[in-house]
Structure 1
């Protein structure tokens, strides 16, 4: 599994690993929110409605 692999490679004890995991998760979320999603938004047809009258 991927989560035990990440957990074993994080530095520190249990508390340090928890803090590192939270920081890592926050970095991934912010990277997606501010970089990836704006780039993909221009490629998606969000103005085309599929529900008609």
Structure 2
């Protein structure tokens, strides 16, 4: 973890966590590399923010 990174705890429903896990497994399949749940969540948050910010413009 880089010095400027912050740890954040969140609660997710079982359904949402299952969706994240499915996305994580798909990333592993596509990249042929291990993907952590944390990395999958960061990827999803980043993609979601980019989409929202793009819609604002």
Give the number of the structure whose alpha-carbon radius of gyration is greater.
1
TM-score scaled by structure 2? 0.43
Tell which has more relative contact order, 1 or 2 (C-alpha 8 A, sep 6+). Answer: 2
